[in-house]
Amino acid sequence: MKNFLRFIVGMAAVSLLAACGNTATPSAGGDVTIKLLAHESFVVSDKVLAEFKKETGITVEVVTAGDAGTMVAGAVLAAGNPTADVLFGIDNTLMPNALRGDGIFEEYSSPALADVRDDVQQWTETRVVTPIDYADVCVNVDMKWFAQSGLPVPASIDVLTLPEYKNLLVIEDPAASSPGLAFLLAVHARMGADGEAWWSALKNNGVKVAASWSDAYFNDFTGGGGAGKYPMVVSYATSPVAEYVYAAEPKPTAVSTAVVTEGCFRQIEYAGVLRGTEHPAEARKVVDWMVSKKFQDEVATNMFVFPALKTATIPDEFTKFSGVVSRPGVLPTNDIESAIPTLLEQWNRVMTS
């Protein structure tokens, strides 16, 4: 009996200690740990992390928090008393969420902004974020399927409503998937008020709606290795690069998928300093580091996106296999916030009618 009580008291003490004894251990010798809140697709090499620590004494601890939307929601809920110091991975469609009320960011954009490509500068006028990378969401096609069928590969999304492309496209639900939402915006950017009619025609032309990107790509797309039935899928302009990098050895000379480059939407990902951080100076350094050449040189290979920095090195396979989108869809900054709910509602109406 006594032993048992002692055991219980011990257990209770251990859990209390675990709960309370751990509050923010003070950092030794001026070394600071900066928490970097990122979405689940974030990748950085140990080498680059170690070099940064060596140069600055700052340890970057990556904290992942679900997909980008959930991560931003978490940051909004913790605004002012943040769970991390720096946030990475908010994209241009989510930016309005970050700016509501007092916003989640402190005012800071890196001096390196001047070296960032002009076509990814959207939202930088808010002075709270720095662009890190970008990727275009486009329709991808299975080249093998098109070669066999003899059907011409579409040059733009405009023709997808034609009868010869009936039952060939799978998209993601814009209400549940980030590329799905981007494609909705791509259509809006390209067609404006005619978008609703286009969606209606696309629905009648047998478009398939999948819940997520992986579902669409691996299960429904003929080029995804699965037993899919649809030779066209909404994915990224860089997806063919991944198809090459992750193809079975020996590497093929041509890639099995290609990109419809007219009718894309550019997703830009940013980093920013979270409002309320205890280490604003170090947090700023982390943002600077993410837009520095060392970090940027890796971005493409790590995450299959393009670096925002003009001078960053882009690996060969990217220049060779990625779809080249010369006229990406862009929505005016002040349009994004109001457009998204309206477009979603409209899309829902069309697809359920």
For every residue of 177-233, DSSP letters joined together read -HHHHHHHHHHHHHHGGGHHHHHHHHHHTT-EEESSHHIIIIIIBGGGSSS--BSEE
The CB-side HSE value for 92 (13 A sphere, CA atoms) comes to 31
CB of 195 to other proteins, least distance (A): 19
Closest CA to 241 of 229, 252, 249: 252
CB of 41 to other proteins, least distance (A): 6
Query: SS3 of 319, please?
Result: helix
Stretch that binds other proteins, among 50-58, 224-232, 265-273, 292-300 (CB under 8 A): 224-232
Position 28 contacts other proteins (CB under 8 A): no
Stretch that binds other proteins, among 197-205, 217-225, 258-266, 315-323 (CB under 8 A): 217-225
The dihedral formed by the CA atoms of 71, 58, 133 and 216, expressed in degrees to the nearest 10: -40
Whole-number Å distance between alpha carbons of 209 and 226: 17
Whole-number Å distance between alpha carbons of 289 and 52: 8
Stretch that binds other proteins, among 8-16, 121-129, 194-202, 319-327 (CB under 8 A): 8-16
Whole-number Å distance between alpha carbons of 161 and 17: 63
- Six-digit token pair at 150? 């003899």
Position 16 contacts other proteins (CB under 8 A): yes
Position 83 contacts other proteins (CB under 8 A): yes
Stretch that binds other proteins, among 117-125, 170-178, 190-198, 321-329 (CB under 8 A): 170-178
Nearer to other proteins, 98 or 112 (CB): 98
Give the residue, chosen from 78, 151, 191, 350, that forms a contact with other proteins under the rule CB under 8 A: 78
Nearer to other proteins, 96 or 280 (CB): 96
CB of 113 to other proteins, least distance (A): 25
Stretch that binds other proteins, among 126-134, 175-183, 188-196, 288-296 (CB under 8 A): 175-183
Give the residue, chosen from 191, 201, 242, 314, that forms a contact with other proteins under the rule CB under 8 A: 242
Nearer to other proteins, 79 or 202 (CB): 79
Give the residue, chosen from 34, 48, 58, 84, that forms a contact with other proteins under the rule CB under 8 A: 84
Q: Which of residues 30-49 bind other proteins (CB under 8 A)?
A: 33, 35, 40-41, 46
Residue with tokens 């982390």: 286
Integer angstrom CA distances of residue 137 from 177, 190, 213, 263: 12, 13, 11, 9
Position 218 contacts other proteins (CB under 8 A): yes
Position 22 contacts other proteins (CB under 8 A): yes
Give the residue, chosen from 247, 327, 335, 349, that forms a contact with other proteins under the rule CB under 8 A: 247
CB of 63 to other proteins, least distance (A): 7
Total number of residues that touch other proteins (CB under 8 A): 79
